[in-house]
Amino acid sequence: MTKEEARRRIDRLRRELEKHNYQYYVLNKPLISDFEYDTLMHELMELEKRFPEFADPNSPSQRVGADINKEFVQAEHEYPMLSLGNTYTREELIDFDTRIRKEVHEPFKYVAELKYDGTAISLIYEHGELVQAITRGDGTRGDVVTDNIRTIRSIPLVLQGSGWPERFIMRGEVFMPFEGFNRLNEERIRNGEEPFANPRNAAAGTLKLQNPSLVAKRPLDCFLYYLLGEDLPTDSHYENLQIARTWGFKVPEVMERYEGLEGVFRFIDRWDVQRHELPYATDGVVIKVDSLRLQERLGSTAKNPRWAIAYKFKAEQAKTKLLSVDFQVGRTGAITPVANLEPVQLAGTVVKRASLYNDDQIRQLDLHLGDTVYVEKGGEIIPKITGVDLTQRPPDAVPVEFVRNCPACGTPLVREEGEAVWYCPNEEGCPPQIKGRIEHFISRKAMNIEGLGEETIDLLFREGLVHDITDLYDLRPEQLAPLERLGEKSAMNIIRSIEKSKEVPFERVLYALGIRYVGETVARTLARRFRSIDALAEASFEELVETEEIGEKIAQSIRQFFQKPKNLEIIRKLKEKGVTLEAAPEEAEEAPPLLAGKTFVVSGVFEHFSRDGIKETIVKYGGKVSLSVSSRTSYLLAGDKPGPNKMEKATSLGVPVISEDEFLKMIGENRP
């Protein structure tokens, strides 16, 4: 294949894959199967690998995220990202309407939209392509999270259709649907990690991850709901969004335009009920003046726009009776109390159980068996007890006491200083912990051993075939085939999958070991820093805490893990079985600090770099990036069409202005 043929094929594949992304993630109307999509993606990635000169940060292949940890730079918002004023009553909405009408002496319309419970994002598009994504931050400046945003498949990297301005800003809300949120929390609990309190926290926390490849694995989505910039299609906020939908943006379907508050109130009443049927969290309705001209005239206060307001829904609450409390044992030995309730209808579902989190919450609520309790759904998804109706407490009600011995093995529990959680310390003899560690070890993101599930692990444990993770590698087909629900074919598949797990890379094996507080991200960091299980085992506390993302709590947990003879014995056996306990040789050396001590301001369009790409390169070689020219600026790196204000300030301060070619020479690169 010639270069020209490759370029044409790459362009065609990119257009086709973006079309299928739009059909699947925005319209929810897929045109091809997952297999066909994966085949096209594989072909594109192979061609981009063979012809790196056609690399493009907005290629569909980049949605998997680069496997690189890096700190976020910050950028200023061209238009401040103000927060909305909140209201909770119709009277307050009427007051809002009265204030508007005192200022506006002409007919106007309101647009009513749902208020999405996620994290706000500002997307900048130039020439129909995404160039930068910035979080809200403090409203004036936020973190640049472009690489993370590129992994969200419902956000267009390249626009379709026509008529979009040369440069504009699209704002919206990154959120996590309930289904993906539940899966993520279940996984975190299995890993011994703290679950997210609600989808909003999960979405915000994910955008803050330093590794885009990890962001790509999280089920994020995004609604876009506000268009900003010069030369917009119309003066109507509502109509602009309908047009933006044709450019490929996922604009919410739930949006209505009204001439007065009567229609707005109907919208609020309808969605206060129907919101419980939605697959994502909403916490209110946003009311905006439709005309952009009137929005500008009304202006804003220091914190809030005067032309928009949020009506917040009341959290739905139910009263029911507390029947009993169970105490569950996790794989790390953590004891979690769970309340058993009289079934009650709440937010469209029947609630029978609610998390009590820990001993402190039980004490704070002063819970008694038989109490009538108030139950809410935190973040519209997690049932939780928020209070007790003391007027209905039975006179003989007994206080709920947190267990002091493990409910599974009877061992006295321990609680470390500064922690809220009680643990069973009997790691080697407590059945739920043993089985939990094995279940974690075989899970998809760990060793990915197929054919074994929770029930099968329980069966193998009861039959005495496995006592720890190393026993899996001693299993034989003739031991498995006679067991319930298995047979010869299933037995052979399990043995093959166990054998294949020996090829799993070191970072996943480290995660699979189930060291407390060592999740996927931390395991990856440790594997790259220490390169082998032996080096990690010998690492001092000081060496651990000097490692990025490793705090004292994690370091202490790692040291404790390797001080236990049982764990050292497990590692010895895993080595004997041929499990990968050493990282593969690194492909590239770390870039030399050629730009150390130098601060750059970047302006204009570059031939060999995207705007973000050239900033990343500066940081890679030890330099710093600043947003504005000052006396501390070392160089203004100017591409085509640099900002005149920056050029003028650099000249007045005597700051050297360098070209892209001069920058390449500074870092020792010579690109044609």
Residue 276 sits at φ, ψ, to 5 deg, of -70, -10
Which residues lie below 8 Å from residue 485, measured CB to CB, with a gap of 6+? Answer: 455, 456
DSSP classification of residue 472: G
**Of residues 3, 49, 115, 217, which has the active-site annotation?**
115
Distance CA 282, CA 276 (A): 9
Asked if 309 contacts 85 with a C-beta cutoff of 8 angstroms, the reply is yes
Structure tokens at 597: 């001590």
Radius of gyration of the chain (CA): 29
Alpha helices (H) along 291-385: 292-298, 359-365
Distance CA 317, CA 607 (A): 58
Nearest to 87 by CA among 289, 253, 304: 304
Nearest to 382 by CA among 187, 199, 194, 175: 199
Residue 258 sits at φ, ψ, to 5 deg, of -135, 155
Which residues lie below 8 Å from residue 353, measured CB to CB, with a gap of 6+? Answer: 338, 339, 340, 341, 383
* Cα 568–chain centre separation: 34
Q: Secondary structure of the chain: what % helix, strand, coil (to 5)?
A: 40, 20, 40
Structure tokens at 323: 């029947």
Return the beta strands (E) in 229-381 as ranges.
Answer: 255-258, 282-289, 308-312, 317-329, 335-346, 349-355, 372-378
Structure tokens at 510: 């480290």
- Taking the alpha carbons at both ends of the chain, their separation in whole angstroms is 22
Which residues lie below 8 Å from residue 579, measured CB to CB, with a gap of 6+? Answer: 473, 501, 502, 504, 509
Q: Which sign, positive or negative, has the C-alpha torsion 27, 29, 35, 36?
A: negative
Beta bridge partners of 50: none
Per-residue burial over 76-108, b if 16 or more Cβ lie within 10 Å, else e, is ebeebbbebeebeeeeebeebbeebeeeeeeeb
If you write DSSP's letter for every residue of 581-596 in order, what string do you get?
-BPPPPSSPPPP-TTT
Which stretch of DSSP H or E encloses residue 110?
strand 110-116
CA separation, residue 246 to residues 26, 161, 233, 243, 656 (Å):
11, 6, 12, 5, 44
Distance CA 661, CA 638 (A): 10
Distance CA 95, CA 636 (A): 50
Question: Known catalytic residue: 115?
Answer: yes
* Catalytic machinery residues: 115
